[in-house]
Amino acid sequence: MNEQNDTRIASKAGKIDSGKTGRRQFLRGAGLAAGAAAATVAMPNVSRAQTVTMKYQSTWPTKDIFHEMAADYATRVNEMSGGRLKLEVLAAGSVVPAFGMQDAVHSGVLDAGHGVTAYWYGKHKAFSLFGTVPPFGWDANGVLAWMNYGGGYQLYNELVRDILKLNIVGFVSGPMPCQPLGWFKQQVKTADDLKNLKYRTVGLSADVFKEMGAAVTIVAGGEIVPAMDRGLLDAAEFNNPSSDRVLGFPDVSKVYMLQSWHQSAEAFEIIFNKAKFDALAAEQKAILKYAAEAASSDMSWKALDRYSKDLAELQTKDKVKVFTTPRAVMDAQLKAWDTVLKAQNQEAFFAKVIKSQLDWVRRTVRYELLNTPNRQLAYNHFFGQKKG
């Protein structure tokens, strides 16, 4: 009996000890799990992607707001990557001239660049259709929507990789407001006033102004004002009040014509050497793509702020006379576009892109026109001159 009791007691003791041990193990395990969770919060997983530095040159002079916007993109990339991917920002001419940027990225002399597709118009006129589009009634944000949801990127990649065999990867980013007709010696009142003018523009806009009778010269942004100062140009457009002001246009002209169909919707292009891009880790590629989208939004907000301020200062401080381009001149531009598009549509790929754009605009702008009230009515109600 005693042996049986001893056995039962020992058995109960064993169960009790086992229970205590189990609870201790559970609590110890819970503590370790909690510690691990705390460690996860305190020390998040860090990407092991190799640090990469890229030489990234813009096509803009250092003082231009466009170069600032190119640097804004780099800032986003550098901060989002935690320093594991760094874009080293260089201004136009630091390594190659502005118009040599694409070739330099293609060959690997540069790793990346910031510019506009119209600058590569000499290689294929369809390049201008991905950043400086015909005025079908859309704006630059509509162009970016087409790029992302209307087949634009597929066509862009077909041009870059299949037709021209360029060793680049590109992102279109940064919707620009409609560009001014430009800077002139005197107010433009009729389309005939443009005839025989030595006028600077780029991309398909060059064909449009040639059709209107102007003598077109294509030069990079930093070269325009010196050319006007020396009399090599009679008139010119660049892009916006902030760029125009800092580049010195008010020093060579006091007549500024706003509104035009020559470049009513444009966006930047950010390009990378494809071999360099393909060698990046997946998260680094994603950062480059999504930073372009983030910078696109910020650029449009900054432009609205800065361009409006600089237009006011052009008028008040620089004594520039601002005029609205007459309807007759803009109608003549649209007719010139008809002629240019008819001629360029003889090339199969150009026609393919135009068809895609027309299909997109026909649907999307119809929606916008039906849905969006005339903003000028509301603006005039609150800010217009009060009757009486």
CATH code, domain with 150:
3.40.190.170
Which residues does residue 273 pair with via DSSP β-bridges, in sequence order? 168
61 and 159 co-located in one domain: yes
165 and 189 co-located in one domain: no
The residues of the chain scoring below 70 in pLDDT are 1-50, 386-388
CB 98 within 8 A of CB 220: yes
Whether 7 is in a domain gets the answer: no
CATH code, domain with 189:
3.40.190.10
Whether 385 is in a domain gets the answer: no
Number of domains in the chain: 2
Whether 309 is in a domain gets the answer: no
209 and 299 co-located in one domain: no
C-alpha to C-alpha distance for 327 and 7, rounded to whole angstroms: 109
Q: How many residues does the chain have?
A: 388
127 and 198 co-located in one domain: no
What would the two tokens of residue 219 be? Answer: 């030069």
90 and 145 co-located in one domain: yes
330 and 241 co-located in one domain: yes
The predicted pLDDT at position 141 comes to: 97
pLDDT tens across 62-114, in order? Answer: 999 999 999 999 999 999 999 899 999 999 999 999 999 999 999 999 999 99
212 and 361 co-located in one domain: yes
Whether 169 is in a domain gets the answer: yes
Whether 192 is in a domain gets the answer: yes
The predicted pLDDT at position 187 comes to: 97
Domain that holds residue 284: 52-175+266-304
Residue 92 dihedral angles phi and psi, to the nearest 5°: -55, 135
C-alpha to C-alpha distance for 236 and 212, rounded to whole angstroms: 15
C-alpha to C-alpha distance for 223 and 269, rounded to whole angstroms: 21
253 and 277 co-located in one domain: no
277 and 244 co-located in one domain: no
From the DSSP assignment, how many helices (H) and strands (E) are in the chain?
Answer: 14, 11
Whether 167 is in a domain gets the answer: yes
Whether 139 is in a domain gets the answer: yes
Task: Give the predicted TM-score (pTM) of the model.
Answer: 0.85
C-alpha to C-alpha distance for 313 and 311, rounded to whole angstroms: 5
72 and 210 co-located in one domain: no
Whether 72 is in a domain gets the answer: yes
CB 212 within 8 A of CB 191: yes
79 and 200 co-located in one domain: no
209 and 102 co-located in one domain: no
The predicted pLDDT at position 13 comes to: 39
The predicted pLDDT at position 50 comes to: 67
The predicted pLDDT at position 59 comes to: 97
CA-based nearest residue to 57, from 39, 73, 79:
73
